[in-house]
Amino acid sequence: MTVRLAVFDCDGTLVDGQASICEAMDIAFSQTGLPAPDHHDVRRIVGLSLPQAIRMLAPDADQALQVAAVDAYKRAYRTSRLEGRLEEPLFSGIAELIDQLQSAGWMLAVATGKSDRGLLSCLASHGIKDRFISLQTADRHPSKPHPAMLQAALADALAEPENTVMIGDTTFDMDMAIAANVRPIGVDWGYHTTQELTAAGAIAVATSPVHLGDLLK
């Protein structure tokens, strides 16, 4: 039987975590004495592993400051979660899309720049953690666009690249898909534009979860 695998990015694709990400980044940069990053720039790097994101936001800082900012971000994000202030709502229509895809026989996975703890907490809070056969994070792999996360998801699902799609909102997701020889599909409700996603190789860009479901029929 052919295994069809749909791999989702998390932030900007499944959930809208930009407010909490920007807040934690503001705190991290303030605590380490770095100039506050522009929130537009922060949204642009969502999806990368945290160390790589910090390097891009503070390229002139020395390595010690960059490492300190990474640690400060982790603390700020965890504190927000523990205090119940973390905002990571599912995008409207995503829960229904997950039901639809599973009913149609798709296996589902996640490949994200989040940490293991962050991803598990996020998915569990929405009651969807057990819907995914494979959860791949930056804790165990190089940052996107390296294909390692997708290769691990393929192995977990026993799926072939030609029967797999990578669904994401950034060019990092599209580049990763192409590196792993899977089909890249963009979504337009995240952090990079439709034009950028298409230029990066997206075979289609969904305008809503309903449209995405239609693309996968």
| Beta strand ranges found along the chain (DSSP E) | 5-8, 107-111, 134-136, 164-168, 183-187, 204-206
b/e code 160-169 from CB counts within 10 Å (16+ = b): ebebbbbbbb
> Does 9 participate in catalysis according to the annotation?
yes
Q: Retrieve residue 53's tokens.
A: 């994101």
Q: Which position among 9, 16, 169, 173 bears the catalytic label?
A: 9
d(CA 161, CA 159): 7
Contacts of 168 (CB under 8 A, 6+ apart): 8, 9, 12, 13, 47, 174, 176, 177, 184, 185, 186, 187, 190
> Does 169 participate in catalysis according to the annotation?
no
Q: In angstroms, what CA-CA distances link 154 with 149, 172, 175, 177, 184?
A: 9, 18, 17, 12, 14
How many CB atoms within 10 Å of residue 214? 12
Cβ atoms of 59 and 100 closer than 8 Å: no
Q: Which position among 11, 16, 173, 175 bears the catalytic label?
A: 11
Indicate which residues carry an active-site annotation.
9, 11
